[in-house]
Chain A
Amino acid sequence: DTGVSQDPRHKITKRGQNVTFRCDPISEHNRLYWYRQTLGQGPEFLTYFQNEAQLEKSRLLSDRFSAERPKGSFSTLEIQRTEQGDSAMYLCASSGGLAGRHEQYFGPGTRLTVT
């Protein structure tokens, strides 16, 4: 069990550019979550998948954000036309398997800086 992995760990981009992040969950977990964390705050829920189905999206997830989990394994989060307010740590978590859906295990995060 290698845990949840995220790539890249850091991304610096110019305002207006598109960025895509990847998350690989723990292999037997069928649920995958995306959260956003800004400095000095706790993570805020963005969206989650059960297998390949996206079941819930927060109002924080504007039209510029899209998440996919095409085969029910890894997931991508894309931000189009980035804005400075998108600068944050994007965290992925997964749950399921023997531990049950109530235990969410987080990856190391992708830190996005929009200049």
Chain B
Amino acid sequence: GEDVEQSLFLSVREGDSSVINCTYTDSSSTYLYWYKQEPGAGLQLLTYIFSNMDMKQDQRLTVLLNKKDKHLSLRIADTQTGDSAIYFCAESRNDYKLSFGAGTTVTVRA
């Protein structure tokens, strides 16, 4: 959606860290999400962060939120071939509608 922007592509070497960036426009966003989509499949919820937090870590995933700059990032440590997918950033300003970016295609090369 036009309210959420992401870079379209990221190529990363296996074992390195990946960082996927997202910017959003609505300062009233309350929750920010990262979803993963593999070819032909639905979306898998990876993690989300409440807007009053600035960091959340979950195993290999680290989410950083800079509310002042309206910038969200997802860091994947020790990237594996199974991490190749499209990653969507989404924001929610109410408690039902998610607004998604266009997705970042992550390609993991050996």
**Which residues of A are in contact with B by a Cβ distance under 8 Å?**
4, 6, 31, 33, 35, 40-45, 48, 55-56, 91, 93, 101-109
User: Which of B54-62, B64-72, B75-83, B88-96 has 4 or more CB atoms under 8 Å from chain A?
Assistant: B88-96
Closest to B31 in A: A102
B25 at the interface (CB under 8 A from A): no
Q: Are A44 and B95 in contact (CB under 8 A)?
A: no
What is the total number of residues of chain B having a CB less than 8 Å from a CB of chain A? 22
Asked whether, in the complex, the Cβ of A106 is within 8 Å of the Cβ of B44, the reply is yes
Q: In the complex where A91-B43, A104-B45, A108-B42 touch, is A55 in contact with B102 (Cβ < 8 A)? A: no
Residues of B bordering A, CB below 8 Å: 1, 4, 31, 35, 41-45, 48, 88, 90, 92, 95-103
CA distance A107 to B45 in the complex (A): 11
Q: In the complex where A42-B88, A42-B90 touch, is A33 in contact with B96 (Cβ < 8 A)?
A: yes
Closest 8 CB pairs of A and B: A42-B100, A106-B42, A106-B43, A108-B42, A45-B97, A109-B42, A48-B96, A42-B88
A101 to B31, CA, bound (A): 11
